[in-house]
């Protein structure tokens, strides 16, 4: 692989140019902004490596599929997405979020970490391998969707309608990070699921003068009381049946989680906090982060919150909640349990709207594909990897891989301070180049 690694280093400027071109194009799926232009850019990059490219139409944004024939019967697939989050709040950015800027060895742009850095790195790796060796040692497939940031509503459609395109022996999935201080690469074997819902409580037909609060019910208070019934001060979720499907950790799961390096002091300093919830630390902290479900208030809206005072009795209150789920929980069952819980506690009038849901997914750590990825990581990085049983976040693995035996592993170019979904999203140039190398190594080793 040394020749390929040397080629990647010699052509680093070219590959950085490719990444900057991708990042400079807005592609905000939630707002249908720049998606058509980004789709064409993705296709043009796949054409640079002579991939056979197809545009698979969905009811939303198309999936871009690419294919290359290799030297044996094995197939390696790369899943990534070409859409990004909105750039708000723009005033918190130090540079234009859609004009990639390089400062102190880092590239700053919306989508550079999530997920255009990985998307371009996969293409660069195949390009470098082709330039050095010509024919690829394995068949390669690319599945690039444009709706990951809005819940991947059509990825399951792709899997069901195009089983021949899904057929593969292993997938390198979007995501993957590297430590900032210890520089250890993180290898992910799965993700948590998510159940995202809104609770809506209504009162009078319109906002009233607050003097009428003596006789008219306040939906904001009612919603607060309902929320208070969901979780106690010890972070226990109080919904009957919520934990009954959670699979206990195996000894191997626990060993993988405990092998993580988690810099507690650095994280607290970064976040500006004094301690973690319940003052947990060590292995308990790591197990809590990666293996326990959550219930989170993401935002509350009601009444008047502008400048100055307005004595108002609101007519409506709304909260957005997300539940991060672990195997074997499902978003459908959790939403149903929330409904049952509210009804049982006297909140039948509160409406539930389920926004989107993603099932958790895990790859068996004993799968041989995991060994291939770990071997490739060892060839590129001096630092030993951190193996993550699953990430604390979510990704649509289940939608594409449910009812298959396809292993999926996450390696990537981001870092633990990449500011996903936040202002000043970034990656290190060094991590981008290393990410290209490790991807090329997987191509070589997966034979």
Q: What pTM did the predictor assign?
A: 0.85
| In the chain, % of residues over pLDDT 90 | 88
Q: What CATH number belongs to 193-358? A: 3.30.70.360
Q: What is the pLDDT of residues 61-115, one digit of tens each?
A: 999 999 999 987 899 999 999 999 999 999 999 999 999 999 999 999 999 999 9
Q: Check residue 297 and give its pLDDT.
A: 97
More confident residue, 261 or 387: 387
On whether the CB atoms of residues 183 and 90 are closer than 8 A, the answer is: no
Considering the domain delimited by 2-189+363-445, tell me its CATH architecture: 3-Layer(aba) Sandwich (3.40)
Residue for token pair 């997966």: 446
Cβ proximity of 331 and 322 under 8 Å:
no
Give the model's pLDDT for residue 86. Answer: 97
pLDDT of 270 above 90 = no
Residues β-bridged to residue 140: 68, 76
Across 299-304, average pLDDT: 96
pLDDT at 427 over 80: yes
Mean pLDDT across 382-396 = 88
Q: What pLDDT does 288 receive?
A: 94
Q: Are 214 and 222 in contact (CB under 8 A)?
A: no
pLDDT in tens, 164-220: 999 999 999 998 999 888 899 999 999 999 999 999 999 999 999 999 999 999 999
Tokens of 273: 């906090």
- Burial of residue 242, with CB atoms counted within 10 A of its CB: 0-12 exposed, 13-18 middle, 19 or more buried: buried
Map out the domains of the chain as residue ranges.
2-189+363-445, 193-358
Q: In this structure, what is the dihedral angle of CA atoms 19, 21, 23, 27, given to the nearest 10 degrees?
A: -130
Pairing state between β 75-81 and 63-68? unpaired
């Amino acid at each position: 692989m040394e020749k390929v690694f040397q080629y990647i280093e010699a052509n680093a400027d070219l590959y950085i140019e490719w990444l900057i071109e991708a990042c400079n194009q807005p592609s905000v799926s939630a707002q249908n902004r720049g998606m058509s232009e980004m789709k064409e850019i993705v296709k043009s990059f796949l054409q640079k490596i002579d991939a056979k490219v197809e545009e698979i139409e969905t009811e939303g944004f198309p999936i871009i599929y690419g294919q290359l024939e290799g030297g044996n019967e094995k197939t390696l697939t790369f899943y990534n997405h070409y859409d990004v989050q909105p750039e708000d709040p723009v005033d918190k950015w130090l540079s234009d979020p859609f004009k990639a800027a390089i400062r102190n060895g880092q590239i700053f742009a919306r989508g550079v970490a999530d997920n255009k850095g990985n998307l371009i790195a996969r293409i660069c790796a195949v390009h470098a391998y082709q330039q050095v060796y010509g024919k690829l040692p394995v068949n390669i497939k690319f599945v690039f969707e444009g709706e990951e940031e809005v819940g991947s509503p059509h990825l399951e459609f792709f899997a069901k309608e195009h089983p021949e395109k899904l057929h593969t022996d292993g997938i390198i999935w979007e995501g993957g990070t590297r430590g900032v201080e210890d520089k250890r690469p993180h290898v992910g074997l799965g993700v948590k699921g998510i159940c995202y819902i809104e609770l809506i409580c209504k009162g009078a037909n319109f906002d009233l003068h607050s003097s009428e609060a003596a006789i008219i019910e306040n939906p904001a208070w009612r919603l607060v009381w309902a929320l208070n019934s969901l979780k106690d001060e010890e972070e226990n979720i109080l919904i009957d049946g919520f934990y009954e499907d959670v699979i206990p950790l195996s000894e191997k799961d626990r060993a993988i989680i405990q092998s993580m390096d988690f810099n507690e002091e650095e994280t607290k300093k970064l976040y500006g906090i004094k301690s973690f919830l319940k003052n947990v630390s060590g292995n308990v902290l790591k197990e809590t982060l990666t293996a326990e479900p959550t219930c989170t208030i993401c935002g509350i809206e009601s009444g008047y919150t502008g400048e100055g005072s307005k004595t108002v009795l609101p007519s409506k209150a709304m909260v957005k909640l997300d539940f991060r789920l672990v195997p074997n929980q499902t978003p459908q069952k959790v939403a149903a349990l929330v409904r049952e819980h509210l009804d049982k506690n006297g909140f039948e009038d509160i409406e539930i709207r389920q926004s989107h849901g993603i099932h958790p997914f895990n790859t068996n750590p004993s799968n041989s594909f995991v060994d291939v990825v770990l071997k490739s990581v060892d060839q590129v990085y001096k630092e030993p990897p951190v193996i993550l049983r699953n990430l604390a976040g979510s990704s649509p693995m289940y939608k594409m891989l449910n009812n298959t035996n396809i292993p999926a592993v996450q390696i990537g170019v981001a870092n633990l301070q990449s500011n996903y979904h936040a202002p000043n999203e970034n990656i290190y140039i060094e991590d981008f180049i290393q990410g290209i190398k490790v991807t090329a190594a997987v191509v070589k080793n997966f034979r």
